[in-house]
Amino acid sequence: MARDYYEVLGVPRTADAAEIQQAFRTLARRHHPDVNRDPAAEDRFKEINEAYGVLSDPDTRKRYDRFGADFRQIPEDYDERVAANQGFGGGGAYGEGPFRGRRSAARGGPRVRTEGDFDTSGVDFEDLFGDLFGGRAGRSGGPVPGADQEAELTLTVEEAYRGGRRKITFGGPGGERGYDVNIPAGVIDGQRIRLAGQGGQGRGRGAPGDLYLVVRIAPHDRYRLSGRDIHVDLPVAPWEAVLGATVPVTGPGGTATVRVPPGTSTGRRLRLRGEGMPHPKGSPGDLYAEIRVMVPPSPSPRERELFEELAAVSAFDPRKQT
């Protein structure tokens, strides 16, 4: 069953040419086989190309809007034949004669893929990608710039914090391609790194597109990120929490010291200004140490004696605290 081309591009039937082109650009970048490793990406990319090829041409779009999935099977002189009552079994109405039982998708009937439908088998996707982004210039023989492409780059918190050069490899239909990437210190999740001229190849002396690496920060067993702020748990002993203490706290940039105020309970956050993720063009984030009061899992006899003594003399009841 052929999908409705408007549904394929995710646009309403009232969409104008600019909306159709923008939807195509977004989907094509996302599903191009060179940057999307999903086995279904190639089929999805062909479907997107097919839909755009029909809806981007005003005349073809009119025929599709009128006849739906069967539009390629309808002769261009259909109206003239109907008017002359020719070529349709004498009935003069769509749905009779050679098109009996094949209702138009635009009229609410089933959508049927026919032999005349778009066939992308054997297509050079690199060439097609650049041609489609270049619009009709590609068909007129002029230079066509290559398409911009995207790929995800997964980093640990430490790698994102430090930055530096890294060799990466991406696989695609044309084989693996290696890149030497300069990662800025302090990149955050969702940030894009541009590799100029490393995208799709242009045609007819057209410049190549760019490759954008979308940074994804992998989950960490110790650090939690919120933008450029870093959150980390800080274990303290009961006496440190009661009496106060200066204790070390480790972040991805190294170890610093923080003052635990007397009377600190679990959940209190201590802020270390500027110790979060670096920012090459602004202020760095902060490091937040969240207190976790820990007790000895197996107290020694003397420790147990002291805790029992404390329990006997203390009037503190945590369940009555507000």
Largest CA distance in the chain: 109
Q: For domain 5-123, give its CATH number from 2.60.40.730, 3.30.830.10, 3.90.1170.40, 1.10.287.110.
A: 1.10.287.110
Assess contact for 214 and 192: CB atoms under 8 A.
Answer: yes
Q: What is the pLDDT of residues 255-306, one digit of tens each?
A: 999 999 999 999 999 999 999 999 988 899 999 999 999 999 999 999 999 9
Arithmetic mean of pLDDT over the chain: 79
Q: What percent of the chain has pLDDT over 70?
A: 77
pLDDT at 84: 67
pTM of the model: 0.55
pLDDT at 163: 93
CA distance 142 to 128: 15
pLDDT category at 137 given cuts 50, 70, 90 is: very low
Task: Tell me the mean pLDDT in the region 60-70.
Answer: 87
pLDDT at 28: 84
Q: What is the DSSP string of 6-56?
A: HHHHT--TT--HHHHHHHHHHHHHHH-TTT---TTHHHHHHHHHHHHHHHT
State the CATH architecture for 149-217: Sandwich (2.60)
| SS3 state of residue 311 | helix
Task: Tell me the mean pLDDT in the region 228-252.
Answer: 96
pLDDT at 25: 85
State the CATH architecture for 223-320: Sandwich (2.60)
Q: What is the pLDDT of residues 16-41, one digit of tens each?
A: 988 998 888 888 888 877 677 777 88
